[in-house]
Amino acid sequence: MTLGLLLYGNWEMSFEHLVFHKAWVNGQWTESNSGKTFAVVDPASGHELARVPDLDAQDTRNAINVADQAFKSWKNQTAKERFQLLKNWHQLIIDNQPALAELMTMESGKPLTESMDEVLYGASFIEWFAEQGKRIDGDVIQTPSSDRRIITLKQPVGVCAAITPWNFPLAMITRKCAPALAVGCTVVIKPAEATPLTALALAKLAQDAGIPDGVVNVVTASHGKEVGEELTRNPIIKKISFTGSTPVGKLLMKQSADTVKKVSMELGGNAPFIVFDDADIDAAVQGAVTSKYRNTGQTCVCANRILVQEGVYEEFVTKFADAVSNLAVGPGTNPDVAIGPVINQAALNKIQGLVDDALNRGAKTLVGGTTHELGGNFFQPTVLAGVTSDMRVAKEEIFGPIAPVFTFKDDQEAIELANDTEFGLASYFYSNNLPRVWKVAEQLEYGMVGLNVGIIANEVAPFGGIKESGLGREGSKYGVDDYLELKYMCLGGL
């Protein structure tokens, strides 16, 4: 069943013109040398949506060589010329927002309203970096010798590899590729096995925008290990950008070491969401629901641990549990749904295991706690109370619709609990006490801190973590740094 559309009855689709079944290399639809394919499955129904080529290391090597050839001319286009092509790409994405959103919902399961937002979010990086590409300036540095002049230039690093996750199949591509293209690099994209269709649609729109063949390439593969080894060990690749788990990120860093590549890593998280006793509790509840249950809890910056001060614990938990109990569960194509399916059966099993571990160690369920009556990959939005630091939910990235709620006594205990993890990506807290705001924000060991907000990502802010949550920053004016080399020129004999 192609795109399994029978299962949605009379639902009218507008995205079939963006559905492609082959890899994208050198501006052409490409099969795998082996002839092998793999299935793309709708997590809401379990139906097969499409089959795409299962590329191997040799196929990937070919895409890298193509990108290398394209780099020789792409880097020599002016920043203004690249700006215009990126602006064209941005506009085509905006024009196709409904179609791209529906395609994302079909292959990732996220609610359609969130997919619509992601299209705009992803497009914003292209617009932002199109502008930033015109602002890559060098310097003339004061010389220590009167017969010399010192000049610095910034030049594109070369062919870049982007390895992207399934939970944001559009935005994670544009957040990596837009700065690369803007400064003159070419890219080879390895999208997640679960969500290659969105990547292929983006590549075709890039061609439609006038971006030359070979500048954007998409390698579809189910065996990420083999393709990842080629991307990390091939000396033509000069930069690797990866979003995914910390163990995989560490492996990619090790593999990249032999060729001394630039690497940027956006890895796992264990975000604390702290509610102090001077907070606006209603606002904190809404922020916690938004942060925790966005994309069914499957984002790296989701609230993973909710820490509530003792004096407001009962009020917060009562209101929070009530709000969560009203979240509608179902296929993301239903406009009323807030909670879609998790990505696959393995994810469902992990989530159930985390809940069972917490309950066996003394936690109690306030809402949910098990699979949903819809069956398949659906899990009830869940709130756990009485959670302690010895439970798995305190240590592991949940990546599902489970909210464990802890208590704390004072500021110092909250900070210690929040920092008691090897991760350091995102953190959140709610307070209206200005001295407390500065104290807590400065002591939280995280790359990003949200104060009285549950959503913090945008194109103008630097996104990234510290500790074992990664290296580098994406978005913002800092997001081009890893795609550039700094060259020093010393002019003598003057």
Q: What is the pLDDT of residues 410-421, one digit of tens each?
A: 999 999 999 999
pLDDT band at 13 (very low <50, low <70, confident <90, very high): low
Q: Which tens digit of pLDDT belongs to each residue from 207-245?
A: 999 999 999 999 999 988 999 999 999 999 999 999 999
Residues 230 and 361 grouped into a single domain? no
494 in any annotated domain: no
Q: Which tens digit of pLDDT belongs to each residue from 373-390?
A: 999 999 999 999 999 999
Mean pLDDT of 260-286: 97
| Structural contact between residues 351 and 321, judged by C-beta atoms closer than 8 angstroms | no
266 catalytic per annotation: yes
463 in any annotated domain: no
Please give the Cα distance from 87 to 246 (Å, whole number): 34
Plot region of 470 (φ>0 → left; ψ -120 to 50 → alpha; else → beta): left
1, 44, 46, 309 from 375: Cα distances, Å:
21, 9, 11, 36
The pLDDT score that the predictor gives to residue 295 is: 97
464 in any annotated domain: no
CATH of the domain at 139: 3.40.605.10
Residues 207 and 68 grouped into a single domain? yes
Number of compact structural domains in the chain: 2
Q: State how beta strands 186-190 and 216-218 pair.
A: parallel
Residues 183 and 206 grouped into a single domain? yes
Residues 22 and 64 grouped into a single domain? yes
Query: Which of 160, 177, 300, 302 does the annotation list as catalytic?
Result: 300
The pLDDT score that the predictor gives to residue 14 is: 75
65 in any annotated domain: yes
Q: Which tens digit of pLDDT belongs to each residue from 338-359?
A: 999 999 999 999 999 999 999 9
Residues 6 or more apart whose CB falls under 8 angstroms from that of 476 comprise: 459, 460, 461, 462, 463
The pLDDT score that the predictor gives to residue 11 is: 44
Residues 246 and 384 grouped into a single domain? no
DSSP 333-365: TSTT-SB---SSHHHHHHHHHHHHHHHHTT-EE
Q: Which tens digit of pLDDT belongs to each residue from 169-214?
A: 999 999 999 999 999 999 999 999 999 999 999 999 999 999 999 9
Find the domain containing 416 and state its range. Answer: 271-458
pLDDT band at 308 (very low <50, low <70, confident <90, very high): very high
Q: Which tens digit of pLDDT belongs to each residue from 46-72?
A: 999 999 999 999 999 999 999 999 999
Residues 56 and 191 grouped into a single domain? yes
2, 56, 390, 420 from 362: Cα distances, Å:
47, 47, 10, 21
Residues 346 and 238 grouped into a single domain? no
Q: What angle (nearest 5°) sits at the alpha carbon of residue 79, between those of residues 77 and 81?
A: 60
86 in any annotated domain: yes
E-only strand ranges, 6-108: 23-25, 28-30, 37-41, 48-53
Q: Which tens digit of pLDDT belongs to each residue from 90-125?
A: 999 999 999 999 999 999 999 999 999 999 999 999
The pLDDT score that the predictor gives to residue 15 is: 82
Q: Identity (one letter) of the amino acid at 162?
A: A
Please give the Cα distance from 341 to 377 (Å, whole number): 5
Residues 444 and 477 grouped into a single domain? no
Residues 330 and 426 grouped into a single domain? yes
Residues 330 and 193 grouped into a single domain? no
328 in any annotated domain: yes
Residues 239 and 382 grouped into a single domain? no
Residues 278 and 235 grouped into a single domain? no
493 in any annotated domain: no
The pLDDT score that the predictor gives to residue 6 is: 35
Please give the Cα distance from 90 to 127 (Å, whole number): 6
Angle between helices 97-108 and 79-95 (to 10 degrees): 70
Please give the Cα distance from 287 to 303 (Å, whole number): 10
The pLDDT score that the predictor gives to residue 224 is: 86
The pTM of this model reads 0.95
Position with higher pLDDT, 81 vs 1: 81
CATH of the domain at 342: 3.40.309.10
Angle between helices 79-95 and 196-208 (to 10 degrees): 120
Query: Which of 266, 397, 459, 468 does the annotation list as catalytic?
Result: 266
307 in any annotated domain: yes
